[in-house]
Structure formats: structure tokens, C-alpha cells
Chains A and B, each alone.
Chain A
């Protein structure tokens, strides 16, 4: 048992980022080590994690700005821990995938590590102040990754990404302040402690419904934009299309999960106390995101944009499962977060590899690539199959649980709309696959060859992971199942847990 394991988890990539910034061309080795250590730590945490406990684990708490009630409090439970695991895994694989980066590698790897710091911080911090700081930290490396290593419209995309999500974050910040200034501890002081504030929202005498509705709407906006859900999704395709591959992977696999994490951590405990109309609104947004995202993906000409919209569609399942508020659907939604985080990596890696091997991502210009790059084709096919929800891979389990669980509480006709999207999902994946990979090889691609081994390796690892969690979902759904019961019950504060 390592003490202060979460602080280490955050500190090591941060240190790694600084070191690799000054490491020149050796940066990739530094980055690999600095991301492998957190992976090892999080696996160690997995071993020690008490899957049946609803309490926070590995908690650390120190005073930071006592006069304002700001503390450095970190800890994980079943909501956060799977995402911590996901972050450490994805970070390692992204760094391996980017092994051949030649343009300013020191900055590149430093930014990737900084991203890891940000997301790990978001998934572990239990103090709103700290949470918000990490939430904003994530924007900066991503802004530079898109802005410096991006495609032709990188400036537009980077600024759009930054402003859009930042504005949403500010709204969220206002809501956090509203929580902060409304609630007083029994000692008469203010606190940013997340669980205390959330537990207090259940008390109608402190937070009358009218006020809580406004606070809730502000927080919700912050998270839905990050998810992203219709109609706040338009920053995503632009950001993805222009971002470098590693940026896209991190963006889709980790940054979007912050929104989903917010739903589980912050939104769901408040859901029973706010106006019931919110449930309808969120459910409608979720269903539209799922179906609309699928149709949008079908209409795309750029393979990366297709994958980006598939993210919108898949993240809609997270929202749907969360708002359906049954044990099954919430567990499924959490698993969908994890599963989408894994699977989307291989999709963006495929798109990125096609881009740099072939030189274009426009689906209509591709053709017959399987002939020249069979290994890549197999991996890409496996990734696409995982994404369209093939049983045996993790995506199916997640979607099945969400759909099964949601059916119990949501009106059945909405569910049939969602079922429809499952067929559309298959359509756009297969269409892209057929156009890009199958058929006779085009003359101009006769010299195309297999991508680098490290790219294939990281893709293969993801497929393996998806298979493992598809065949044995219990590895992680056990944790999530406990968390799901927990998010549907009143919040237990750290003091009540007795961990502080």
C-alpha cells in the first residue's frame, strides 16, 4: 500500500511534463516512463480497491486556503476510479502511438502528459476549487496541441474549442460559486468540499428548488458541452478534424469523459431535488444526441469527422443511462464511458494512420487499402466492429445495459428511436470500412505500406482491452455497480465516512 497514491498519480506526469519539456529529442522516453508509472500505480490501486465499498478510498486531504475553505482533497470511488484507470491506460498508449512525432517532440509529449495531469485531477479531486482548476488545466495543453500540431484550419478549431468549452466552464463556475456562497457549515464557515455541498443540495431549507434549478442548469450546461451533447456538440468535430491524432485520441477518450464524470458525480445527486422537467430535458437531449449523431456520422465525408460524430452518438448513451436512473442503466452508462474511452482510441488512431500513410482522410478518395495494409485493416475492422456494438467487445455490454435499464423508466417509443440508431451506427461504420479498405486497390495507393509497428501495437492493445472487458465485463462493472447504487442514494460526505 503506497500512501498518498493519488497525489503521486498526479505529480508524476506533472514532473514528467516538466522534464520532457527540457529533454529535447529524448522527451518520448521520459514521457513513456512518466506515463507508465501512473499506470502501474493505478493497477496497484485496482488490486487494493474495495469493490463493495460505497465510500471514498485513498482519500488525502490538506488545507490549502483555509480562510476561503479551499482544501486539497482527493480520493476515488467507483465513479472516478474506472476513469482513472482509463486515463492512465490511454495515456500510455497515446504516447506509444506518437513515438514517431518529429515536430517539437519535447513540447508535444510535455503537453500530452499535462493533459494526463488534468484529467487525473478532475477524476480524483473532491474539492470544487481543485476540481475547477484541473478542469481548466485540461484546456490549455489541448489548445496548444490543436493550435500547433493541427491541420489547415487549426486556428479556427483551437479557438472555437477553447472559447466554447471555456464559456461553458465559466457558467459552471458561477454555479459552483452559488453553491459555495449559499451553504454555510455548522461552524459558520464556507467550504468548497464537493461532497458536503452536494449532500446539502438535498436540503430544501438551504437550497430552495428555484435556486437549485438555476445552479443545476449551470452545472448541467458545463458538463453537457464537455460531453458533448446536442446542440452543444459543434466544437467537437472541428477540434477533432484539426487536432493531431494523439490530440484527437486524448480529446475523445479522456476529455469527453470529464463531462460524463460530472454527470455522475455532480448532476445525479442533485437530480432528485430539482424540477422534474430537467429529467425530460436531459432525456430528450440524450436521445437526440444518439440518433442525430448517428445520422450525422452517416453524412460525413471525412473519416475523422465520422468518428467524431460517432462519439456524440455514443456519449448520448451515457447521458441516457444516467438520466434513466435505474441501477442497470447507470452501471451501463458508466461502463459506456469506459468502453467508449477505449474503443474511440482505435478509431481515431485508424483515421490518423490513414491520414499519414495515405495522405487523405476523405472516404471517397480511399479504396482497397486492405490490399496493402492487411494487418492495419484487421485492427481497424476490429475497432469499427467494437464501435458498432459487436457482442464480445465492450461496447455491446455497455449499450445493452443502458438500453435494458433505460427501458424500465423511459417511454418505450423513445427507446425505439434509439434502437433505430443502432442500425444506423452499423451502416456508417460498414460503409466507411467498405469504401476505404475493400474493393480493388487504387493505382495511386500501390506504394502504400503498413504503418509503423508502434502504431499497430497500440491499436492492437486497445482491441485486446476491448475484448477483455467485453468478455469479462465484471472486472470493472463490479466497481461500477457499487457506484451506481451509490449515486442513486443520498451523498455521504467525507466526514460521515470518517475518512477525515
Chain B
């Protein structure tokens, strides 16, 4: 029943967008309630669909669009959990925004854009083909552009919006190239498609991935990864994400933490069979993810803007998710479950942290943590909800982040045993840094002395409410849902004809995996059905890897706990005045090159914007312009000047003296006569 109305999940926010755009100016709070209602309706529908199809059905609806393409809805476990998460988190954020944006003259525009964003994100999730996914993907990018540039009168906001759009656009171009490559490869297979089947539909792709040549698969995978890297803020296209904090905080929470940036991870998960089959596909994913996780975490250590800390943290956590998918080379589809679980958990606590930060900023009226301190005294609700979020982010035992993030580290370890330990080492280091920067932020905002004279009041209930709800999930989601979640997600690819054994051979994972005594190569191919059968069994990753939890050495099991608690303590020693032992300036001074490097964000702005965009690209444009003026247009102007100049000379013949004309005339006649006579002599005429 609900499934028949699945299209409404997108249609209602679109309706809200139109209403807010055209009549929102006359409604209270810019018509924000419309956006909330539309999203909430989406949540209800998603829940309804969940109750209908859980645990072993999928919904697939499709209709022709134009040429060889279709539009359709595909709700499988992967899409469903994403739908639930997005509708849920975004509903809360929209509710919160009703308080946060109250009084802003552009509130109607905000809610219109937010509704459009919601629609695009949801459309992206349950698209049944890659083209449709790309379309919504771009619309999400557009909304991001509009929302980052929401305060367009601020030059920095306008610049950040442009930067975000362009940087993600670079990724999108790669994504588009990947799609085109995939389409052409599938088309050249000359498949006979059943009615209702189209080349770019996911089930069709899954079924025929194995027939595509391996080198093409790698290219396609790299293209798609390019898109994911752009959207999910992975190195080297992550530069837009910290700048994107120019938008209202709700935007940061909604787009740059909880939902939009997860689209890249979702794409890789969605196309997991292809990545799995592509040689180097998952290796690239793992490399990018692990490196980004560490790289962004180091920058998170030094930022002073509370939102930038969270932004770097988002980049870093997305790196975890990517790495989690990448190490799927070792553990198979289980990696999808692990990674998506972290994605969902992360969206809860990151939304919570951003909204908490928004609440602080709303009261304190500054983003700079150096001007805060002791805020907790005035904002108890915010402080404790944010504490839960921070603990979760840091991976403190029993919090959601602990279950999700540490699982990634564990499978990275398995990957290490089988293939390469580098991702594991990077992820563990990143986890330490995560705990440190998170609590550096929490301690310096909520505890200690008041470092400036700021606004001291708690935010209104409409803002606190969502915080509390999110805090509940940020705490409890992990242990409540972990195992069911893994088994549900593991069943995802069973609905399609995916032959992971064959894909593994193409991708070379079996060959690489043979060293593993766990026999993972064999297990991972059949792992998915097994887990599904074992249902709610305790097993998750254990069976996947071909061994129980006990298979990991004990120090690997407890290392994440040590890392989390140690990191928090370390942060406390520097920033929590009750146990403070060191001053940060003892470790690094202002002149310290490493600190400067981090503060400058590895000079990536200078390199990418300053050097690449302004020098290389714009320089090429200027050179083209020069060529155009001097050469392409130049020869034309030269020709016309030459013709005019020649005419200046030749017009002198017209002396205006009649006698000259007559002379010429007679001479002409004489010449003609001579020529004709000669010609007759010769016999030509």
C-alpha cells in the first residue's frame, strides 16, 4: 500500500519547494512548517514501506523516460535505511531550522531551497538507475550551492558557494564520464533486455558487470569514485567542505554532515559490485578513504572555528566510511553494511553536534572557540546533548560511534592481514585524533572561564527538542541496531543476480586473498546468504571473515577503546581546567611550522585556488584570449587591412584625367586586336 505512494517521498518536498518559493513570503516563518510536514510525510511513508517490505522484499517501479532511459524507484535494504535516516534527520533539522531561521528575511527562500534539497537527496537515494541518480546528485549540488550562498550579500559566502559547486563539479564530471563509459560498455554487449529493463538500471548493471572488460571496469570505477570523492569531500576534492560552513548552521548540519556528503559513500555502496569487480577499484577507495580520514583529522586539531572543527571531523569520518567500503576487498559485501552503519550513526551524532554548535552560535553570536569558554553554565541542554554527540564521535564504548567506527577499524585489520596494513594504521591514528579534537572542542566551549562577553541564554525548545531526540539516537542506535542492521544490509545484493565469486576473480581479490588462512576469499562470496540465514545471529563480521570475533587478537579488540578513552584524556589534559596539566602553547608556539601548516590546511587553498584555478586555468583562458585576438581574429583584421591598403594604392589609377582613360582604352583595344590576331594565326580561334 505504502509502496504505491513511494513517489510522494520526492513529490511532497517538491510541492513544498514550490509553495515556499511562491507563497512562502506570506506565511509565518517563511512557510517552514510546509517543509517540515513534507519531510515528515516522507518519514511516515518510509516507515510504512519499511514495515511492508522488511526483511526480504524490495520495491522496484519503473517507467520509460526518453530515448533509452527510464525513471524509476528502487527501494532495497540499502536505499531503505538511507531513506529512513534522511527523512528522520532532515525532519528534525527542518524543525530546528524553524527556530533558528526565525526572523531571517530570507526564511521563505531558505525553506524552499531546503525542501528542494530534501527532494533531491531522497530522489538520489531511491533512483533505480544511474542517470537518475546523477540528476538528483547534481540537484543536491545545486541546493548545496544555493544554501551555502544563502547569505549571498556576504562575499565570503558567495565565494564559498562557488567553490563548493565547482569543486564538486570536477568530481561530477568524472562521475558523468564513468556513467557514459558504463553505458557504452553495456551497450556494446548487445544485451537483449526484457521489457521494462534499461541499460543503466542498477539490477541490469549488477547482472552484467562481469561481462565488461576489466580495464574498462577500472576506468568506470575510478570515474564513479571521482564523483564520490567530490561529493563526499574526500582528498583532494575536500577543500570545499570546510568553506561550506559559510551557510546557516542548519545547512551545515543537513548538507555537510548528515546527508548530502554521504551521497558519495552511498554511490560507492550502491555500485559496490562494480567496484568489487574492478581491479584497483576498491584499493583506490580504501586509499582515498584512509588517507582522508587521517589527513582531515590533523586539520581538525588546529581549527578555531567550531563549525570548521566539525567540518574537518565530517571529512575525516567520511574517510572512515570510504575506507570501510574499500576494505571490502577483504570482507566482501559485509563492508557495505559496516560502512553504511557508520554513515547512519554518524549522521545522527554529526547532526546533533552541528545543531548543538548552531545552538551555541545562536546564543553566543560567534563561531570562534577562543571567545567562548564556560558556555555550559548557561546552556545545560546543549552541553549535555553535545557531550553525548562528542562521546559518540570519539567512539566511547557503548555509544553509537563506538559500534560503527570500531567495526570499520576491525575490518580494516582483516584487510591488513590479507592485503595491506596501511589503511588500518591510518584509521587508528585518525581515531586517536578524532577523540582529541572532539574533546578539545567540547572542553574549550563548555568548560573553563568565560573568555569574552557573549550572549548567555539557552535556545528555545523548538531547537532543543531535535537535539534531545538526536542525542537519544546518537547514544542508543549503535547497540540497539547493529546486528540486525548488518544482516539486513548483507541481504541487499541477494535480490539481484550478483555473482560475487566471479566478480572477485575479475577484480583479483581471490588471488590476493589466498594468503588469508581464514579462507575469506571463498567465504566472502557465500558470506551474504549465510548471514541472512543466520538472521539475527550474533555474527555480523565474524562469519563474514570466516572466523568469530575471537579470531582477532585481543589487543586488536580493545585497541579502539583505548584509543578513544586515551584521546579524550589527552584532550582533557590540555583543555579541561579540572585536570589541566599542559598548556597547548607549551607544545606548539605560533611560529611552529607544523602548526602553521595545519592551520593553513596544508596550503591547499593556496595550491588549489591560488595556483591551480587562478594561475593554470585562468591563465590558459587568458592565453586563449590572446590567441583569439591576435591570431584567429587577427588574420581577419589583417586581411581586411591589407585589402583596404591595396585599394588605396590601386585607386590612384583613377586619375580623373580623361586623356588617361582614353589612352588606356585605346591601348586595351590594341592589345585585344593583337592578341586575337595572334590567336587566329596560331589557329586557336
Contact = CB atoms under 8 A, between A and B. Distances in A.
Q: Do chains A and B touch in the complex (CB under 8 A)?
A: yes
Interface of A: 160, 164, 230-231, 233-234, 292, 295-296, 298-300, 328, 331, 368, 370-371, 385, 390-392, 396-397, 400-401, 403-404, 407-408, 415-416, 419-420, 422-424, 426-427, 430-431, 433-434, 437-441, 472-474, 477-478, 481
Contact of B169 (A328, A423, A472, A481): A423
30 contacts: A230-B632, A234-B628, A234-B633, A295-B621, A298-B617, A299-B624, A390-B138, A390-B139, A392-B139, A396-B138, A400-B131, A403-B180, A407-B180, A408-B188, A415-B177, A419-B174, A426-B165, A427-B169, A430-B145, A430-B162, A430-B165, A433-B162, A434-B159, A438-B158, A439-B152, A439-B158, A440-B154, A473-B65, A474-B65, A474-B67
Nearest to A388: B169
Contacts, number: 124
* Interface residue range, chain B: 35 or more
A325 to B, nearest CB: 15
Given A391-B134, A472-B66, A231 B632 contact: yes
Interface in B66-89: 66-68
B620 interface: yes
A392 B621 contact: no
Contacts of A430: 145, 162, 165-166
Nearest to A420: B173
Contact of B621 (A164, A298, A438): A298
Nearest to B187: A408
A419 B176 contact: yes
Given A391-B138, A407-B180, A434-B158, A368 B166 contact: no
Interface of B: 65-68, 131, 134-136, 138-139, 142, 145, 149, 152-155, 157-159, 161-162, 165-166, 169-170, 173-174, 176-177, 180-181, 183-184, 187-188, 613, 617-618, 620-622, 624-625, 628, 632-633, 636
Given A420-B173, A422-B176, A474-B66, A370 B138 contact: no
Given A234-B633, A440-B155, A404 B183 contact: yes
B158 A423 contact: no
A296 B169 CA distance: 19
A397 B66 contact: yes
A328 B67 contact: yes
Question: Sorted from nearest, which 6 A-B pairs have the closest CB atoms?
Answer: A438-B158, A391-B135, A299-B625, A298-B621, A299-B621, A474-B66
Contacts of B66: 397, 472-474, 477-478
Given A391-B139, A422-B176, A292 B158 contact: no
A206 B100 CA distance: 78
A299 B622 contact: yes
Q: Interface centre among A401, A423, A474, by most B CB within 10 Å? A: A423
A298 B187 contact: no
A344 to B, nearest CB: 20
B636 A234 contact: yes
A423 B166 contact: yes
B155 A295 contact: no
Nearest to B170: A423
A423 B174 CA distance: 10
Contacts of A300: 625
A295 B139 contact: no
Nearest to B632: A231
Nearest to B627: A292
Nearest to B171: A423
B620 A295 contact: yes
B152 A403 contact: no
Contacts of B183: 404
A164 B633 CA distance: 11
B176 A390 contact: no
Contacts of A420: 173
Contacts of A370: 152
A454 to B, nearest CB: 20
Contact of A439 (B145, B153, B180, B617): B153
A135 B174 CA distance: 41
Contacts of A385: 142
